[in-house]
Amino acid sequence: MTDTPRRLLLVNGPNLNLLGVREPGIYGTETLADIETLVTNTAAGLGFQVRAVQSNHEGVLIDAIHASREDCAGIVINPGGLTHTSVVLRDALTGVALPVAEVHISDVNAREEFRRFSYVRDIAAVHVVGEGVAGYATATTKLIEAIAGLGEG
């Protein structure tokens, strides 16, 4: 591919379909649809499109990541609980060789010990944790800046 595609893949992992009703004290009241709109609008303001996928099934996420190598410039991902458990998700991300922004709504570093480990952390160019849903906009902006060579990531 000679031209960098102007599209991002937005990946949300297991249980993120329950945003808005699941533990609002931790995750807030905004929904997955709100996040998809926020990321789409943020990316559009920087000249990018977004394809969004959410699944509670690891294989669906891996298939979407694999497909992204054909027409995406980067991946914004909140792997949900797969953050702490999935080597195969990490392998899919490294396999497509696209820049990655890892985002978490809550501050995973201030929560249970098991949430502090991420299989994605060391392969991601951008990390945003604990900014709530707004962190998705931050992650999207920083990832696009990194793709364009404008920021540090």
For residue 49, which phi and psi values (nearest 5 degrees)? -100, 170
Annotated binding residue at 106? yes
Among candidate residues 57, 104, 119, 127, the one labeled active-site is: 104
76 within 8 A of 98, measured Cβ to Cβ: no
Closest CA to 20 of 125, 132, 98, 144: 132
**104 is a catalytic site residue:** yes
For residue 100, which phi and psi values (nearest 5 degrees)? -125, 140
Annotated binding residue at 55? no
Annotated binding residue at 62? no
For the chain, the distance separating the N- and C-terminal CA atoms, rounded to the nearest angstrom, is 23
Annotated binding residue at 34? no
Annotated binding residue at 91? yes
Angstrom distance (rounded) from CA 89 to CA 58:
7
**119 is a catalytic site residue:** no
Known binding-site residue numbers for substrate: 78, 84, 91, 105-106, 115
Known binding-site residue numbers: 78, 84, 91, 105-106, 115
Q: Which residues are tagged catalytic?
A: 27, 104
